[in-house]
Amino acid sequence: MTVSTSPAAAQPRGGRAPQKLTQLERWKLRGPLLPALVLTVVLTQIPMLVTVYYSFQSRNLLRPEESGFAGFANYGRVFGDEQFRGAVLNTVVLTASTVLLSIVLGIALAVLLDQKFLGRSVVRTLLITPFLVMPAAAALLWKHAMFNPLFGILNWALSPFGVERVDWASQYPMTSIVLMLTWQWTPFMMLIVLAGLQSQSPELLEAAKMDGAGPFKTFWFVTFPQLRQFIELAILLGSIFIVQTFDPIFLITQGGPGQATTNLPYFIYQRTFRAFEVGEAAAAGVIVVIATIVIANFALRVVSSLFREEERA
Amino acid sequence: MRIPHKPHLTRTPHRTRAVVAASVVTVMLASACSGAGGGGADGDTVTIATVANPQMEDIEQLTSVFEEEHPDINVEFVILPENELRDRVTQDIATGSGQYDIVTIGTYETPIWAENGWLTSLDDYASDPDYDVDDLMPPVREALTYEDNLYAVPFYAESSFLMYRTDLFEEAGVTMPERPTWQEVAELAEKLHDPDNDVAGICLRGLAGWGEVLAPLNTVVNTFGGRWYDENWNAQMTSPETMEAVQFYVDLVRDHGETGAANAGFSECLTATSQGNAAMWYDATVAASILEDPDSSDAAGLMGYVPAPVVETEHSGWLWAWSLAIPETSQNKDAAWEFMSWATSKEYIRLVGEELGWTRVPPGSRMSTYEIAEYQEAASAFAGPTLDAIENVDVRRPGLHEQPWVGVQYITIPEFQDLGTRVSQEVSAAIAGNQSVEEAMEKAQQYTEEIAESGGYRDQ
């Protein structure tokens, strides 16, 4: 991907004469960037600080007279809430299965698209389309056109196999959401993997052929190891986005039936806008942010290892 | 209550901008050459937050008439889907930011917000004889009153009734009783249920949400003699009567209801009924005006209407009214009332009838609406049953027991949105078949108990 080129390009400039700048010169260079830095810090950190503040307050918008410092009570309530633990589990299941399915399909489609055939660009455009549809529109499309038990396409397509009147969104709520998200995220995975496939050197493939490797062996022993970093990147970026899924859950199942599809974003939404429990929602938000930071740190480490290997190559 | 809606963006009429620009220029001129005299009235701008329902969209269209009569008042609309409206308006008022001069709220919010001191009492305004406050439907007026003060005026109101397809009834050789009981309805549903032809016996909401499945279900619970809390706020979700009612509802919708019931709300049932996929539908009275519209409904002219089915009580309809209120934070209360009183007046109802058609008149707010000959004729199929349904609601005691709150299909406590959502999710899961009614109601009992504790209702 294009991302990998920028650190390499920055290398020679930084290596020219870093220590010859005086303190003043350095600040002259940095000075013009300071307003942007301050603005970024203000815009990103103040909402976060306000959230942290509220997470220690007992505040319900609908009961204005009772608010005050709550200590860790909100955190206690959130962790003690069975629905919150259910939401964590649902988020993990939803994210893991969607990422797994879409990466597998993405690799398969990318390998197909890497071949030369007539109408390849048309096929590529069509395959990318699901990713370009607005999430809310896609959710409604799936709710009505695909999952509807009476006139949904899914039941119609499966009817020759004896499947009849399956009410997807209520009988298999999690499967339905995963199915819809996989449809939406496969193109994303496919694009990243495709970039990886197209960046491998033709010489290497030719050498493999010369050594007598068939297409399958070539893929497994030559292409796949090279693709590994691209796949890791796709999985990490995909996970970060899919954890935040809200639209299909809100529009297709309303987190239900029961709590079957309530994930963390939907849980926080409910605490904020159904219960107007500002404190509890803020606490849940802080917990999610901390968890995300941990995962993102891990993500960045893997991505930077990817950069390092690029530089070595 | 739940009308299929399309989201709208804030509309800033050109006139407003022109007026703002003009007043800015005026101020600049005035300060430049001091003593140039008052540069014309810059006018009050009234911002109204409202729900994206057809009736509310009509009012936006007709506001030019009001603005012509009141050149000094400009009206700006913020039209939002129901849930988003509730979120935004609650935040705005609770944080005191005072963005809106008029807010659209329901019968649920009005007493709670009045108690919080968020709303302006309308008694002085509404006592103006021209407004004729006594013409407002009594149950609606009662639901919008808190401690003998009126805090909101109804734009339109609804109850619930049973709608059925007369042609399908004839074909099946069955008749609908004039005042059906739920047992009779269940028998009829069994006879009319015809999955091979994609016709469900009855369409009932099953979608999670306090304003979705709980609205019809609560009326069933009331009429079975069940309740959420007793007089001392002890949760009654696992009492025999409540359990029986929920079990009845879940069985009925699972056995003879629409396919995909656990995800069907007002919109889904409206689609099913208007496309001929349901023989009966128990829901809001406003649904009738859409079902009777031949442009959007195959069932137009084929529908019959009877009161909400009962078991132990005389009546069992719910009550809801989208109403207009002035937040305490408004800076333009007088101008806001000018607009509100116009929008909820008899003249406005006539205006809608004459300009947009009589079936589009906002129903259920004023008794005089039902005396208009043109309306009686245009809405002959449903006007009478709607009026009856609304008049027969007792918001203080809809079930068999005394209740320490006012309201039929909801409990008037701030926590109910959250509690109702949680309970509705459990019921919805029972309708989907993912758990038994016992399991669902045991969890519901637990949530309900918790709220009684945490809200401090027991101490009162």
Q: Any chain B CB within 8 A of the CB of A67?
A: no
Pair B171, B250: CB distance under 8 Å? no
Whether residue A283 lies inside any domain: the answer is: no
Whether residue A26 lies inside any domain: the answer is: no
Rg from Cα positions in chain B? 23
Spacing of C-alpha A47 from chain mean position: 22
Strand partners, B103: B49, B325
pLDDT tens-digit profile of A49-94? 988 998 998 887 777 777 788 788 889 888 888 888 999 999 999 9
pLDDT tens-digit profile of A187-230? 999 999 999 988 888 888 888 888 888 888 888 888 888 888 88
Concatenate the DSSP letters of all residues of B130-180 into one string. TT-GGGB-HHHHHHTEETTEE--EEEEEE-EEEEEEHHHHHHHT----SS-
Selecting from A60, A257, A270 the residue whose C-beta is nearest the C-beta of B262 gives A257
Whether residue A252 lies inside any domain: the answer is: yes
Whether residue A138 lies inside any domain: the answer is: yes
Query: Cβ–Cβ contacts within 10 Å for residue B7, how many?
Result: 10
Structure tokens at B89: 């308006």
- pLDDT-based confidence at A110, cuts 50/70/90? very high
Pair A234, A131: CB distance under 8 Å? no
The rounded distance, in Å, linking the Cα atoms of B181 and B43 is 56
Average pLDDT, chain B: 86
Whether residue A55 lies inside any domain: the answer is: no
Select from B456, B422, B459, B457 the least CA-distant residue to B442: B422
DSSP secondary structure letter of residue B235? B
Residue A98 above 60 pLDDT?
A: yes
Show which of residues 178-237 on chain A sit within 8 Å of chain B, judged by CB atoms: none
The pLDDT value given to residue A8: 44
Whether residue A32 lies inside any domain: the answer is: no
* Amino acid (one-letter) located at B412: T
Whether A63 and B95 lie within 8 Å, measured CB to CB: no
Selecting from A150, A256, A258 the residue whose C-beta is nearest the C-beta of B259 gives A150
Q: Closest residue of B to A143, CA-based?
A: B263
Q: Any chain B CB within 8 A of the CB of A62?
A: yes
pLDDT cut 90: percent of chain A above it:
24
Whether residue A67 lies inside any domain: the answer is: no
In chain B, % helix, strand, coil (3-state, to 5) comes to 45, 15, 40
A237: containing domain = 83-272
Q: Any chain A CB within 8 A of the CB of B91?
A: yes
Whether B95 and A61 lie within 8 Å, measured CB to CB: yes
The pLDDT value given to residue B352: 92
Residue B74, CA atoms < 13 Å, CB-side half-sphere: 16
Residue B253, CA atoms < 13 Å, CB-side half-sphere: 31
The rounded distance, in Å, linking the Cα atoms of A234 and A30 is 34
Selecting from A61, A167, A169 the residue whose C-beta is nearest the C-beta of B90 gives A61
The per-residue b/e assignment along A197-212, b for 16 or more CB within 10 angstroms, e otherwise, is: beeeeeeebeebeeee
Show which of residues 101-130 on chain B sit within 8 Å of chain A, judged by CB atoms: 112, 116
Q: What is the CATH number of the domain that holds A148?
A: 1.10.3720.10
Whether B425 and A259 lie within 8 Å, measured CB to CB: yes
CB-CB neighbors (< 8 A) of B95 in chain A: 61
Structure tokens at B153: 């005026």
Pair B95, A59: CB distance under 8 Å? no
Q: Show Cβ contacts of residue B378 under 8 Å, excluding neighbours closer than 6 positions.
A: B353, B357, B358, B359
pLDDT tens-digit profile of B231-275? 899 999 999 999 999 999 999 999 999 988 888 888 889 989 999
Q: At what angle do helices B54-69 and B333-343 cross, to 10 degrees?
A: 120
The pLDDT value given to residue A309: 60
Q: Any chain A CB within 8 A of the CB of B269?
A: no
Selecting from B83, B417, B432 the residue whose C-beta is nearest the C-beta of A170 gives B432
Q: Show Cβ contacts of residue A196 under 8 Å, excluding neighbours closer than 6 positions.
A: A1, A110, A226, A227, A229, A230, A231
Whether residue A93 lies inside any domain: the answer is: yes
Q: What are the DSSP E strand ranges found in chain A? A: 57-58, 68-69
Q: Any chain B CB within 8 A of the CB of A61?
A: yes
Q: Closest residue of A to B443, CA-based?
A: A258
Whether A257 and B432 lie within 8 Å, measured CB to CB: yes
Instruction: Write out residues in chain B with pLDDT < 70, as ranges.
Output: 1-43, 459-460
Query: Cβ–Cβ contacts within 10 Å for residue B102, how many?
Result: 25
Residue from B110, B418, B437, B438 to probe the interface with A (highest A Cβ count within 10 Å): B418
Q: At what angle do helices A34-55 and A278-312 cross, to 10 degrees?
A: 140
The rounded distance, in Å, linking the Cα atoms of A177 and B277 is 26
Q: Any chain B CB within 8 A of the CB of A277?
A: yes
pLDDT tens-digit profile of A14-52? 445 556 778 888 888 888 888 998 998 888 888 889 889
Q: Any chain A CB within 8 A of the CB of B83?
A: yes
Q: What is the pTM (predicted TM-score) of this model? A: 0.79
Closest chain B C-alpha to A263 CA, distance in angstroms: 14
Number of domains composing chain A: 1
Whether A62 and B414 lie within 8 Å, measured CB to CB: yes
The rounded distance, in Å, linking the Cα atoms of A61 and B69 is 38
Preceding peptide of B195 cis, ω within 30°:
no
Whether B260 and A150 lie within 8 Å, measured CB to CB: yes
